[in-house]
Amino acid sequence: MGTLLQVKNLQTKFYTQDGVVNAVNGVSLELGEGETLGIVGESGSGKSVTMLSVMRLIPQPPGKIVSGEVIFDGRDLLKLDEEEMRQVRGNRIAMVFQDPMTSLNPVLTINTQISEALQLHMQMDKEAARKRTIELLQMVGIPSAASRIDDYPHQFSGGMRQRVMIAMGLSCNPQLLIADEPTTALDVTIQAQIIDLVKRLKREIGMAIIWITHDLGVVAGLAERVVVMYAGYIVEEAPVKEMYINPRHPYTLGLLKSIPRLDEMRKTTLTPIEGLPPDLITLPKGCPFAPRCPYVIEKCIEENPPLMVTMSTRHRSACWRWQDVHKETSTAPAAVA
């Protein structure tokens, strides 16, 4: 499996009236061709800003990519000019956003919106683009696609709009699909439909996927590898099973212990993570999780730990005490109905 995307030491800041917001603080990650990567984090953890930086969609000002490289297919995207970047965006890398209600243009038909990309990037004529649009809508499971193609976004439900967004994302056969909380605004039964669809499309088309979410459940069934972010840093990175069975960062462990599971056997007490995430304007000098961490020692306050190799080279944790971080056996998986 070749490397498709390589992010090296990415730093993105926002210059606001209140001060400099350190949104992404030196993120490095890799993605193989056809791989599915989950990025998990809470609001303000920098997961969306990281991917918006990769796509160069950060509003500048107030935002600024301060440093780093984004190597996609051998080229540093951060060094491309705007015209070259347009050739990548939508064509090679596509992005699906959280809110299907606001990311479609309400005054244009679905056909116009999807055909535009096809005509621009694939040099199709109007007729061919329309034909391809119908195919795409069928592929994402929109019933009677041929007649619905001339409808406007408001004529579709939330789940259907997200399907339209995915069809649009896939229109130019991208090598990478970045999905930013694509199911958060949807109901669970509709979420299940969308996840099912994305898994099927991945099997059929074989593109790589980066799935950004705050829901540890969604990632468990979808991703091959998971990255956990906190306060603009990657705090843990591991293959999906490793991450859930053997988490080696107190934040990951804390998240897993604080969410109720549908399959919990008996009434358990949740163990919340105490306190609040840090203010991104005045980040502590040590580990950003130290103020909330039950494993905290002197060193954590003095020095921010880098991502360190733990059990295997594929499992890395940014914790000085990763060897002491263990999941108790009492939370072993239970049978599911």
Partner 1 sequence: MAGTNGNKILLEVKGLKKHFPITQGIIFQRQIGAIKAVDGLDFFIRRGETLGLVGESGCGKSTTGRAILQLHRPTAGEVLFEGQDLVKMKGEQLRRLRRRMQMIFQDPYASLNPRMTVGDIIGEPLEVHGIARGKEAKERVQELLQVVGLNPYFVNRYPHEFSGGQRQRIGVARALAVNPDFIVCDEPISALDVSIQAQLINLLEELQDKFHLTYLFIAHDLSVVRHISDRVAVMYLGRIVELADRDELYYRPLHPYTKALLSAVPIPDPLVEEKRERIILTGDVPSPANPPSGCPFHTRCPIMQRPICVETVPEWREARPGHWVACHFA
Which residues here bind partner 1, judged by CB under 8 A?
42-43, 157, 159-160, 187-193, 195-196, 214-221, 240-241, 244-245, 254-256, 258-264, 267-274, 276-277, 333-334, 336-337
Residue type, 307: L
Least distance to partner 1 from the beta carbon of 153, Å? 15
Of 92 and 315, CB closest to partner 1: 315
Distance, CA of 319 to CA of 7 (rounded, Å): 21
Least distance to partner 1 from the beta carbon of 66, Å? 26
Of 65 and 318, CB closest to partner 1: 318
Which residues, 6+ apart, have CB-to-CB distance to 331 below 8 Å? 256, 257
Least distance to partner 1 from the beta carbon of 142, Å? 11
Least distance to partner 1 from the beta carbon of 26, Å? 23
Least distance to partner 1 from the beta carbon of 237, Å? 15
Place of tokens 């919340």: 272
Of 60 and 258, CB closest to partner 1: 258
Q: What is the token pair recorded at 241?
A: 């099973």
Contact (Cβ atoms closer than 8 angstroms) between residue 297 and residue 250:
no
Of 118 and 166, CB closest to partner 1: 166
Of 72 and 211, CB closest to partner 1: 211
Which residues, 6+ apart, have CB-to-CB distance to 160 below 8 Å? 142
Which residues, 6+ apart, have CB-to-CB distance to 54 below 8 Å? 5, 7, 10, 70, 72, 77, 93, 178
